[in-house]
Structure 1
Amino acid sequence: MNQHRAFPAVVTAAALVLLGGCGSGGDAAGAASDGRLAVVATTPEVADFVRAIGGADVTVTQIIKPNVDPHDYEPTPADIKAIGEARLVVKNGVGLEEWLDQTIESAGFRGAVVDSSQGVTLRAGGHEEGEEAGGAEHEGEEHDPHIWHNPRNAKIMVTTIERGLAAADPAHATAFGKNLAGYAAELDELDAANEAAFAEIPAARRKLVTNHDAFGYYVDRYGLQFVGSVIPSLDTSAELSARQLTDLVTKIRATGARAVFTESSLPPKSAEAIAKQAGVKVIGGEDALYGDSLGAEGTPQGTYLGAERHNTRVIAAALAG
């Protein structure tokens, strides 16, 4: 992952003005004007999970908007204000939100933070088996934070989120539990549909080239072969050297990979250039994959389930030829 970025001084100063005396310790803090539980969720995926489990009993402030790269995110004064007024903060974890701890401190937040990665078996960098997350960031180690791309992991995440919501708002724990049961069934259906889609594709064709290394959990779950990525990293800060670019083109040709898949939150230019050199098609535009983000609000891809169905439909169609 990127090195921890310095927290912008201008944001901190502006936050103090915005926050005034506001914090999460007051009697009214953490409750929306209509009495619903006020939750801040960091990423689009986590925010969608909170909405699905919380239903009508929560109000969710989503920090990172659709098609914004979470690896390069810098918090705004509005983010700090929202955290200061929330009862609960829910994060992806695994080091994806490097900016969050200092933002929470600046906000004066004293509520609970739910790390939705707890209990998920993490992948080490480079498509190797990882270890179970325990809420820590595994200091000194790099793990793949894109845990939601395996629906089985998503099921663990929403279970953890449900526990956090129930602890923060026991009066609605029964409703949260019912919502969890229904959503968990939808995740099982998604997983089964994904598995069936790739079962129809010969193993020799299940080769994936993406904009960056965001689909490791997906690749492992559905028996794909990860050929390489345009950005040779779990985050989006690295760039291909001339030699790496040549090596990737050579690998695409040697493995018989059929396409290079662009991602919705990243510029497609480098992926298009590599696909052209390798003599394969580039998958982009409306068919770009949702690697780090979800689609625009109100679209089918604006939900986790819709984005993952889109990814499988696009990948399976391209690999099947």
Structure 2
Amino acid sequence: MLSPLARTLSSAALLVLFAAGCGEGNASSSPSDPAQPLKVVATTTQVADFARNVGGDRVSVHQLLRPNVDPHDYEPSPADMQAIAEADVLVKNGVDLERWLDETISAAGFDGPVVDASQGVQIRDGNPHIWHNPLNAKTMVDTIEKAFAAADPRDAAAYQANRVAYDAKLDALDGEIAKKVESIPADRRKLVTNHDAFGYYLDRYGLTFVGSIIPSFDTSAELSAKQVSDLVAKIKATGVAAIFSEASLPPKTAEAIGREAGVRVVAGEDALYGDSLGPEGSAGATYLQMEEHNTDTIVNALRGTVA
């Protein structure tokens, strides 16, 4: 019996094949054709943003995951399948975040280069949320630039120039985050979040992870009654100032724990962007905006100040 993902892939693949057979599909352009942009498929909102910054007007990016959608909930659409089939380059986050990707690529019939943006990043206990350290983002961007240059040598200089300009913004972001976090009193630099998505951020800027509402990197996991009781006790014992909900996850459990522990829960428009960027026009619409929003939210809550 086929799984729901397999059924979705089978249906989408059939639609793509039908369109191609009727002459409605577009043949993949040569990456060396100066009249055509490089066709890029990017899995997550973060790597799609990096790809757009590196590629500029020389790439056309099709993004698979939508803003504020949990990566574990993704199901490919026929448009996604066709974009994959016609892509010149496919970019993924890696670290086993996109567990559905190999099956999707196979169903789409894609045999081009798959770029693992996590290459060269020091992985923390299998945690796939590597982008929350801007220095890791620089490594990811460098990997993407090299892949674009290999696929489209004619525009290699443009990709390099775009990467250098974006690196400067990432360096400035890193320095600004460090400065803001240093303004939090040392005994208040403690974090409780929806799930363990911010390990790289905490390591980089010297905050302490007290616990999470979801007990793993997988957002489908749930706390047991004992784990909830233990987390409430830990929050009270450590003097945690706030619990941070995430924009892509429901805040209900976090709010219940917050009430029991007697601490503020940061949710709604102030929620952190953990797994995904936000939609266009939101405080987390780009990677740079997301990290600035997250930092300002954390700093204001832990300092007890108003944004």
1:316 aligns with 2:284: no
- Secondary structure (helix, strand or coil) at the match of 1:59 reads strand
TM-score by length of 2: 0.93
- Secondary structure (helix, strand or coil) at the match of 2:178 reads helix
1:305 aligns with 2:288: yes
- Secondary structure (helix, strand or coil) at the match of 2:255 reads helix
1:39 aligns with 2:15: no
Aligned CA RMSD, in angstroms, stands at 2.1
Name 2:240's counterpart in structure 1.
257
Name 2:11's counterpart in structure 1.
13
Q: Structure 1 pair 27/283, CA: closer, same or farther in 2 (3 Å)? A: closer
Measured against aligned partners, the alpha-carbon deviations of 1:201-230 in whole angstroms (never above 9, x if no partner) come to: 122100000001100000111110101000
Q: Structure 1 pair 249/32, CA: closer, same or farther in 2 (3 Å)? A: farther
Name 1:248's counterpart in structure 2.
231
Measured against aligned partners, the alpha-carbon deviations of 1:49-107 in whole angstroms (never above 9, x if no partner) come to: 00000001000000000000012322222211110011100000000000101111111
2:32–2:153 contact (8 Å) kept in structure 1: no
- Secondary structure (helix, strand or coil) at the match of 1:119 reads coil
Give me the whole-angstrom Cα distance separating, in 2, the residues matched to 1:167 and 1:294. 28
What residue identity is the alignment partner of 2:74?
Y
Q: Structure 1 pair 32/208, CA: closer, same or farther in 2 (3 Å)? A: farther
Report matched runs for 1:1-321 at 5 Å.
7-20=5-18, 22=20, 28=29, 35-124=36-125, 143-321=126-304
What residue identity is the alignment partner of 2:65?
I
Most deviating of 9-18 and 147-156: 9-18
Q: Structure 1: 5+ residue runs without aligned partners?
A: 125-142
- Secondary structure (helix, strand or coil) at the match of 1:302 reads coil
Residues matched between the structures, number: 299
- Secondary structure (helix, strand or coil) at the match of 2:107 reads helix
Most deviating of 22-31 and 236-245: 22-31
What residue identity is the alignment partner of 1:17?
L
Q: Structure 1 pair 316/10, CA: closer, same or farther in 2 (3 Å)? A: closer
1:15–1:80 contact (8 Å) kept in structure 2: yes
Give me the whole-angstrom Cα distance separating, in 1, the residues matched to 2:33 and 2:107. 21
Q: Structure 2: 5+ residue runs without aligned partners?
A: none
What residue identity is the alignment partner of 1:84?
A
What residue identity is the alignment partner of 1:247?
D
